[in-house]
């Protein structure tokens, strides 16, 4: 195409309101400066306790100010991306590249086969030439039940794919579709096909719920013989089966159209070899797929994150195949969305502000981080290639690679690529594929790709590209965030810290934009101090804030009030509700005082040479009525956990301090003097009590199984009482 005739395949637009946001940020910065001046100018000179509590609060405020600055950097130049699929079809319909799709699962008990195959079927049914699609399932659980479900999915796809195409089904996960669809009784032909597909789906679900594979079914496919040699899911040979060979002219659906290639892989596991979890599974898939289909584009999704938008591939190709800028992009990252969120987002699982404001900011600064799922990769970038400005992709040439070997030969050849010993003395896990040695290997992998010169794109289309399942119990959510924040902190304290690793490789703003996520866990200390110490000082008659009659109260009031009002405005603008924002503030505090604290402690213990933490977190709640309480938006506390001990103790501490403050105001002859001296501290305690209202309900009033365990109630009262007594000593 001539340069003068060039029309881009995507558009980049700045987020509206950037000038107002910058003015607001400047005003907050001025308020922070006044707060710092106040803390330095009025530092107590008498009283050791007063002086050190003052200094501690000042340090906490300095930390909050630094963290605010880092998050502001993320949003300074936010942009939105808009692909043009019609232009893509006009220019490249005959040259669309092959796409390899990786689905990863690890445990058939936690991730049931019925869940896995719904995701597999949803990506098989993309609105894309099926002969150019190859779907690979990595089963790190090595389960014959999962393999059986894949066989059923291969058969089921022959009806499901034409059904989706004929009736333009969305979403294309059978489970998600039939959960909301209504039977078309007015159209006998469509109704008959609809019922036949639904019956097939029910048969799959019924058979995959069996705890063993019947002998008559085992005899129907040679792949089941592999399990005759399996000792356990941690000790077995490579199991690789090509269930649908897209090259085979007989591999067609009920209407005669070709089917995508479908491959099952359980890589070799041996006790003496580290398997590197999901990163190891992904690297094995990269090698195996390079031998079978070698699609230049790779999509990876978690097994519980089904495709909700059949046009996602073409949306992504608008960036990869753009003639002017497409060669710069290594990956297109979509946000993680969840289908089971309550109206008011009980556990703050939508990340709506991050998706609409923070990630677009990362995009403008050089590209979003890779978050491990819902991401389209350029194969050569994921495999370790450095960006070369002079290298232009010839998509037509890439499509000419056709493998000639038979299925049986390919299966045997590829087993070696997924063996335990293949990676020894190679660059896999270091410079090639996903990196090893970190719980959040996806983040450091994305960072290393960007440091090799590549850019990335964040795309958040109007119809969500992928939908998963959010935690339905508080402990599940807290444990999830502990794992995330612990991994991020380990990155910050390692050689992969963006400030150091990205020096002279990526823009400074992008290096800074990684820090708010890497420092999640570090927020715990300042938050715990601010939640506990002012309340205890209130009982000891130590004032930590300006008098309400003083002008110095204005910067504190402005920063606190304006920041929260701005937060509420952002949340509502992003489509949330007031109650949803309030729940978000509650979960913000819960995570910082529990998940982040344990993540911080775990990380420090590991740095000191301890392989395990000094505490044990209990399993998640699994009662039958948890889902019902979740739908009613009742927080689930029904388990004993050190995290709940902290939440309950802090809640009781704030309650006791508030009651003590109210008593002080009532008994003091000069009420106005007490309110003038301790007004901000009393207000802070009352706000914390209000946020903790569901905790008090769970401690004292609820009778269902989601209430706080009695042992947690007793411990929290004892610990809080002891803390209050010691503070008044």
Give the mean model confidence (pLDDT) for residues 392-405. Answer: 77
Q: For domain 83-470, is the CATH number 3.40.50.300?
A: no
Per DSSP (E only), the strands in 25-180 are: 79-83, 99-105, 133-139
Active site residue 144: no
The structure tokens listed for 635 are: 């927080």
Q: Against a cut of 0.85, is the pTM above it?
A: yes
State the CB neighbour count (10 A cutoff) for residue 364: 23
Residues 258-298: tens digit of each pLDDT: 999 999 999 999 999 988 999 999 999 999 999 999 999 99
Mean pLDDT of the chain: 91
**Residue length of the chain:** 729
Percent of the chain with pLDDT over 70: 95
Predicted confidence at residue 613, as pLDDT, reads 40
Residue 294, exposed/middle/buried by CB under 10 A (0-12, 13-18, 19+)?
Answer: middle
| 3-class DSSP state of 310 | coil
> Which member of 100, 139, 140, 645 is catalytic?
140
Active site residue 140: yes
Whole-angstrom distance, CA of residue 434 vs CA of residue 445: 5
Predicted confidence at residue 237, as pLDDT, reads 94
Whole-angstrom distance, CA of residue 73 vs CA of residue 510: 9
Residues 10-50: tens digit of each pLDDT: 999 999 888 999 999 999 999 999 999 999 999 998 888 99
Angle, helix 642-667 to helix 474-492, in steps of 10 degrees: 100
Whole-angstrom distance, CA of residue 409 vs CA of residue 693: 64
213-222, 350-359, 628-637, 671-680: the lowest-pLDDT one: 213-222
CA distance to 7, 34, 125, 513, per residue, from 13 (Å): 16, 36, 31, 20
624 annotated as belonging to a binding site for a ligand? no
Predicted confidence at residue 4, as pLDDT, reads 59
645 annotated as belonging to a binding site for a ligand? no
List helix spans (H) across 76-127: 85-92, 113-124
Give the mean model confidence (pLDDT) for residues 397-405. Answer: 74
> Which member of 100, 139, 363, 442 is catalytic?
442
56-65, 76-85, 230-239: the lowest-pLDDT one: 230-239
Confirm if 249 and 269 have CB atoms less than 8 A apart.
no
Whether the per-residue pLDDT at 617 is higher than 60: the answer is: no
140 annotated as belonging to a binding site for a ligand? yes
Residues 519-555: tens digit of each pLDDT: 999 999 999 999 999 999 999 989 999 999 999 999 9
Confidence of residue 568 (pLDDT cuts 50, 70, 90): very high
213-227, 441-455, 681-695: the lowest-pLDDT one: 213-227
Domain boundaries, the chain: 83-470, 506-728
623 annotated as belonging to a binding site for a ligand? no
Whole-angstrom distance, CA of residue 64 vs CA of residue 70: 10
């Amino acid at each position: 195409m001539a340069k003068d005739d060039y029309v881009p395949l995507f558009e980049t637009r700045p987020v509206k309101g950037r000038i107002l946001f910058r003015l607001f940020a400047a005003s907050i910065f001025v308020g922070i400066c006044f707060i710092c001046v106040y803390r330095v100018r009025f530092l107590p000179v008498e009283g050791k306790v007063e002086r050190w509590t003052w200094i501690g609060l000042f340090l906490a405020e300095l930390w909050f100010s630094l963290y605010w600055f880092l998050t502001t950097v993320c949003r300074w130049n936010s942009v939105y991306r808009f692909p043009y699929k019609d232009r893509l079809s006009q220019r490249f319909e005959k040259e669309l590249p092959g796409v390899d799709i990786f689905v990863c699962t690890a445990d058939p008990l936690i991730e049931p086969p019925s869940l896995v195959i719904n995701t597999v079927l949803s990506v098989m049914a993309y609105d894309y030439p099926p002969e150019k699609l190859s779907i690979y399932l990595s089963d790190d659980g090595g389960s014959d039940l999962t393999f059986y479900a894949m066989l059923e999915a291969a058969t089921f796809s022959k009806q499901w794919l034409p059904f989706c195409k004929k009736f333009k089904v969305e979403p294309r996960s059978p489970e998600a579709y039939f959960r909301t669809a209504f039977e078309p009784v007015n159209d006998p032909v469509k109704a008959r096909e609809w019922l036949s597909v639904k019956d097939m789906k029910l048969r799959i679900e019924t058979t995959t719920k069996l705890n063993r594979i019947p002998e008559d079914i085992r005899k129907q496919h040679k792949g089941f013989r592999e399990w005759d040699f399996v000792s356990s899911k941690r000790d077995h040979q490579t199991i690789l089966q090509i269930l649908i060979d897209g090259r085979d002219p007989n591999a067609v659906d009920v209407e005669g159209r070709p089917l995508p290639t479908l491959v099952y892989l359980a890589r070799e596991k041996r006790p003496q070899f580290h398997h590197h979890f999901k990163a190891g599974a992904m690297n094995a898939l990269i090698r195996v797929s390079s031998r079978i289909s070698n699609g230049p584009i790779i999509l990876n999704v978690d097994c519980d994150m089904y495709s909700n938008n059949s046009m996602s591939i073409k949306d992504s190709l608008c960036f990869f195949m753009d003639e002017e800028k497409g060669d710069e992009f290594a990956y297109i990252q979509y946000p993680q969305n969840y289908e089971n969120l309550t109206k008011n987002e009980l556990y703050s699982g939508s990340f709506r502000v991050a998706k609409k404001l923070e990630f677009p900011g990362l995009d403008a600064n050089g590209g979003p981080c890779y978050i491990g799922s819902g991401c389209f990769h350029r194969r050569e970038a994921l495999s370790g290639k450095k960006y070369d400005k002079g290298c232009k992709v010839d998509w037509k040439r890439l499509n000419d690679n056709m493998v000639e070997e038979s299925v049986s030969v390919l299966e045997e050849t590829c087993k070696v690529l997924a063996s335990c010993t293949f990676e020894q003395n190679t660059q896999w896990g270091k410079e090639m594929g996903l990196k090893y040695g970190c719980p959040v290997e996806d983040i450091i992998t994305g960072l290393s790709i960007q440091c090799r010169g590549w850019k990335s794109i964040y795309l958040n289309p109007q119809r969500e590209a992928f939908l998963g399942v959010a935690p339905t119990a508080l402990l599940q959510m807290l444990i999830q965030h502990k794992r995330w924040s612990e991994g991020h902190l380990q990155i910050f304290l390692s050689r992969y810290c963006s400030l150091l690793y990205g020096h002279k490789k990526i823009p400074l703003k992008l290096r800074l934009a990684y820090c708010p996520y890497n420092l999640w866990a570090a927020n715990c200390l300042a938050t715990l101090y601010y939640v506990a110490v002012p309340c205890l000082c209130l009982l000891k008659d130590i004032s930590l804030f300006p008098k309400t009659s003083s002008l110095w109260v204005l910067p504190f009031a402005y920063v606190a009030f304006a920041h929260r009002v701005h937060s509420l405005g952002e949340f509502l603008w992003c489509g949330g509700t007031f109650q949803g924002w309030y729940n978000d503030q509650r979960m913000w505090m819960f995570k910082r005082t529990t998940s982040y604290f344990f993540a911080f402690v775990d990380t420090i213990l590991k740095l000191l040479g301890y392989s395990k933490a000094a505490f044990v977190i209990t399993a998640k709640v699994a009662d039958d009525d948890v889902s019902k309480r979740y739908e009613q938006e009742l927080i689930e506390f029904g388990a004993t956990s050190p995290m709940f001990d902290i939440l309950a103790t802090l809640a009781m501490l704030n309650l006791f301090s508030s009651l003590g403050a109210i008593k002080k105001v009532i008994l003091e002859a000069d009420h106005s003097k007490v309110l003038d001296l301790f007004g901000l501290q009393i207000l802070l305690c009352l706000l914390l009590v209000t946020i903790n209202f569901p905790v008090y309900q769970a401690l004292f009033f609820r009778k269902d199984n989601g209430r706080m365990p009695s042992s947690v109630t007793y411990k929290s009262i004892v610990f809080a009482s002891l803390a209050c007594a010691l503070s008044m000593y």
